[in-house]
Amino acid sequence: MDSKILEKSTLYSAFSELGKRISLPQGIFYWSGRAKKEAELNGTIGAAYAYENDFIKDGQSEWLPCYLNGINEYFKNLDINDLVPYTAISGISELRDIWKNWIIYKSLLNEKEDKEKLDRLKKYITTPIITTGVTNGIFLICSLLLNANEYIITPNKRWGNYDNIIKGFLGAKIKSFNYFREQQFNFEGFEEAIDEVAVVQDKILILLNFPNNPTGHVPTKEESLKLIELLQAKQKEVKKPILVIIDDAYEPYIHADNVINRSLFYHLQDLEENIIPIKLDGATKELLLYGARIGFVTIGLKPKWTKNDKELEILKNEIDNKLSGLIRSTISNCNHFYQALMINLFNTKGSEEILAMREPVQNLLKERYMKINSELKKIKNPNISVDPNSGGFFTFININPDYGKASEFAELLMTKYNVGVIPIEKPDENVNGIRIAYCSIDITQIPEIVKRIKNALADF
Ligand SMILES: Cc1ncc(COP(=O)(O)O)c(C=O)c1O
């Protein structure tokens, strides 16, 4: 949104550089707002929705945001001390420990236990600090690492809010690369981006997100090994620290067998090189509590940085102090109620039962994922391609820019076919396509939505 009237005012003349630079991009809100009013089939909403009786035994037929079966109990009977007081700046220590144990527990879910690696994980990751959702975690960690005008590498298809935080807020720069090449992660583009940044900076910052928003991509096991080898080789070559921020917002939603089924954080943490992983989590999608606004930042430290356990503890405290300084100077501390709720949940249910509570929603999303991909395969049109996708909430259809602009296609879909999608158009970064949020489309509607997309393409 521009600020034409505001810019002429005395108020604007008093704005800081940040005040002048920042704005709320209207794209997603514009399309989802219109879809709510105009579309019969709405694929714009990035939250998991379903008929309650499809994910809750004995649920109603109401269309609702998906939630953990049994979570309602935790909204009742909280002690006044769990509601009213401030929490510690970096979060309630009991929840921080619970989340650290949860991270350790998840490291073993799909992997044979390797005692040495497990001990190292337990010892060398920081105790997560609590943030206001993943968004705030991205903001805090980027504030910690990025000066204005410095680069962070992240692919051309990414969550749009990265741009608001990195460019809009911090005045830093994004070194973008084309995410895919021949339907695979684009290693060449990624490597080039690292090379270019290594020339101008003493550190390489990378921000990755799997399952990805907007594509749904998760690296295959081969891709992930290649990615790690590439990072190792580059670190040796450029001899600069490589910090890899892993946005794990959609971590549990893996829908295919041939892709990695745990966060890339774990593998990066095992590496000896100065490849420093930073894990960003949120209760938001992981525990289906969007409104809770609880997230976590966890940093993987390297054994060679400290001489003994005492030094390691001091190092952790010093990192904590830095992050706490950032929290204190921005949000002061996070929501008490939901931290208390999560403590109660973990203490009464335990990790295994929490996984079981979430399973119906995971299954439901997986069924939709399979359905939408099998339907999309039926569209034979050389002007479109579907990005590799194996997890998360979304799928992305590229439209050949010579065929037409994604926003014009979305307009046609909305006005003539009553289908709402989010167009993403970034000509400078080779992005022209539509994101379909199957997380909020019932499976029975998927064939129809794809049929309408197919017809609209013929009509475009
Ligand atoms: C990739 C990605 N990261 C982070 C977020 C934000 O998470 P939160 O709501 O916990 O701030 C989203 C939300 O859409 C997202 O898609």
pLDDT digits (tens, 9 = 90+) for 362-394: 999 999 999 999 999 999 999 999 999 999 999
Cβ of residue 209 lying under 6 Å from some atom of ligand 1: yes
> What pLDDT score does 113 carry?
84
Binned at pLDDT 50, 70 and 90, residue 25 comes out as confident
**What six digits make up the tokens of 49?**
């929705």
Cβ of residue 299 lying under 6 Å from some atom of ligand 1: no
Binned at pLDDT 50, 70 and 90, residue 27 comes out as confident
Cβ of residue 284 lying under 6 Å from some atom of ligand 1: yes
Binned at pLDDT 50, 70 and 90, residue 112 comes out as confident
Asked whether the predicted pLDDT for residue 77 surpasses 90, the reply is no
Residue 282 CA, closest ligand 1 atom number: 10
Cβ of residue 164 lying under 6 Å from some atom of ligand 1: no
Note the pLDDT tens digit of each residue in 444-455. Answer: 999 999 999 999
According to DSSP, residue 164 is labeled I
> What pLDDT score does 437 carry?
98
Residue 136 CA, closest ligand 1 atom number: 11
Cβ of residue 132 lying under 6 Å from some atom of ligand 1: no
What's the gap in Å between 337 CA and the centre of ligand 1?
21
Binned at pLDDT 50, 70 and 90, residue 214 comes out as very high
- Nearest-angstrom CA–CA distance, 454 and 452: 5
Cβ of residue 333 lying under 6 Å from some atom of ligand 1: no
Cβ of residue 362 lying under 6 Å from some atom of ligand 1: no
> What pLDDT score does 2 carry?
85
Q: Closest Cα to atom 14, ligand 1: which residue?
A: 46
Cβ of residue 208 lying under 6 Å from some atom of ligand 1: no
Residue 247 CA, closest ligand 1 atom number: 3
- Nearest-angstrom CA–CA distance, 369 and 187: 26
Cβ of residue 295 lying under 6 Å from some atom of ligand 1: yes
What's the gap in Å between 135 CA and the centre of ligand 1?
6
What's the gap in Å between 336 CA and the centre of ligand 1?
20
Asked whether the predicted pLDDT for residue 110 surpasses 90, the reply is no
Cβ of residue 391 lying under 6 Å from some atom of ligand 1: no
Asked whether the predicted pLDDT for residue 335 surpasses 90, the reply is yes
Nearest Cα neighbor of 292 from 333, 341, 359 is 341
Residue 294 CA, closest ligand 1 atom number: 10
Paired with 436 in beta bridges are 395
According to DSSP, residue 168 is labeled I
What does residue 256 show for φ and ψ, rounded to 5 degrees?
-130, 160
- Nearest-angstrom CA–CA distance, 234 and 271: 13
> What pLDDT score does 78 carry?
84
Residue 132 CA, closest ligand 1 atom number: 11
Instruction: Report the relative pairing of strands 394-399 and 384-386 from DSSP bridges.
Output: antiparallel
What's the gap in Å between 77 CA and the centre of ligand 1?
29
Angle between helices 336-376 and 446-459 (to 10 degrees): 60
Asked whether the predicted pLDDT for residue 111 surpasses 90, the reply is no
Nearest Cα neighbor of 440 from 394, 378, 385 is 394
Residue 46 CA, closest ligand 1 atom number: 14
Binned at pLDDT 50, 70 and 90, residue 325 comes out as very high
According to DSSP, residue 39 is labeled -
Contact residues for 141 (Cβ-Cβ < 8 A; gap 6+): 245, 278, 280, 297
What does residue 110 show for φ and ψ, rounded to 5 degrees?
-125, 25
Cβ of residue 128 lying under 6 Å from some atom of ligand 1: no
Asked whether the predicted pLDDT for residue 26 surpasses 90, the reply is no
Note the pLDDT tens digit of each residue in 291-324. Answer: 999 999 999 999 999 999 999 999 999 999 999 9
Cβ of residue 277 lying under 6 Å from some atom of ligand 1: no
What's the gap in Å between 127 CA and the centre of ligand 1?
21
Residue 285 CA, closest ligand 1 atom number: 10
- Nearest-angstrom CA–CA distance, 356 and 370: 21
- Top mutation candidate among 136, 157, 213 for ligand 1, by most atoms within 8 Å of CB: 213
The residue with tokens 């029975």 is 444
Q: Are 386 and 217 in contact (CB under 8 A)?
A: no
Q: What is the mean pLDDT of the chain?
A: 96
**What six digits make up the tokens of 95?**
């929840």
**What six digits make up the tokens of 272?**
């000896």
Establish how many alpha carbons lie within 13 A of residue 289's alpha carbon, considering only the half-sphere containing its beta carbon: 25
Cβ of residue 213 lying under 6 Å from some atom of ligand 1: yes
Q: Enter the pTM of the model.
A: 0.97
Residue type, 348: T
What whole-number percentage of the chain has pLDDT above 70?
A: 100
User: What average pLDDT does this structure show over 397-418?
Assistant: 96
Cβ of residue 134 lying under 6 Å from some atom of ligand 1: yes
User: What average pLDDT does this structure show over 175-199?
Assistant: 97
User: What average pLDDT does this structure show over 185-211?
Assistant: 98
Instruction: Report the relative pairing of strands 295-299 and 184-185 from DSSP bridges.
Output: unpaired
Binned at pLDDT 50, 70 and 90, residue 122 comes out as very high
